[in-house]
């Protein structure tokens, strides 16, 4: 009887030793990781409110004085997953991307007003994304 128990115990130990080892948990997929992205719109004059639709409170509410939308007078950090987003104020908006590495990317045409490509800080410096820097193509004339 003792030898039968001993054989069963050895059999169980052999099965446990031969059992496949569960693989270590794989790291989370890159597209599910959240990154801390900082938004700095403190250079906007006059100060305004801004949004990232679907992530932050909306700026277009019935009462702009009581909205929870973020003010441009302070920097904010949001946790964003890789993907396409839009930054917007009352006067303009533009798309940007958070890459799989957690870095920012946006159109080169925005470089005059937006900084932070390949970083984790989006800095907006213009009240419009396409400021007019040339000479006027019209002239005011006296109306008599």
- 38 close to 76: Cβ distance less than 8 angstroms: yes
Question: What's the confidence (pLDDT) of residue 138?
Answer: 39
| CA nearest to 76, candidates 109, 52, 45 | 52
Condensed to tens digits (0 to 9), the pLDDT of residues 39-85 reads 999 999 999 999 999 999 998 876 766 778 899 999 999 999 999 99
Residues with Cβ within 8 Å of residue 127, at least 6 apart in sequence = 44, 45, 46, 48, 89, 91, 92
- Is a pLDDT exceeding 50 seen at residue 136? no
Residues with Cβ within 8 Å of residue 111, at least 6 apart in sequence = 117
pLDDT band at residue 31 under the 50/70/90 scheme = confident
Set out the domains of the chain in order of their start, with CATH numbers.
30-124 (2.60.40)
pTM: 0.71
How far, in whole angstroms, is CA 22 from its chain's centroid?
35
């Amino acid at each position: 009887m003792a030898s039968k128990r001993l054989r069963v115990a050895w059999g169980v130990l052999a099965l446990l030793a031969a059992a496949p080892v569960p693989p270590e948990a794989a790291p989370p997929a890159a597209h599910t990781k959240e990154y801390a992205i900082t938004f700095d719109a403190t250079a906007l004059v006059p100060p305004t409110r801004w949004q990232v639709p679907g992530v932050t409170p909306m700026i277009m509410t019935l009462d702009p004085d009581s909205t929870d939308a973020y003010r441009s007078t302070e920097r904010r950090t949001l946790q964003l997953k890789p993907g396409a987003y839009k930054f917007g104020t009352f006067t303009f908006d533009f798309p940007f991307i958070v890459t799989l590495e957690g870095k920012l990317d946006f159109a080169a045409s925005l470089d005059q007003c937006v900084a932070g490509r390949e970083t984790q800080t989006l800095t907006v410096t213009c009240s419009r994304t396409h400021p007019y820097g040339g000479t006027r193509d019209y002239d005011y004339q006296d109306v008599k």
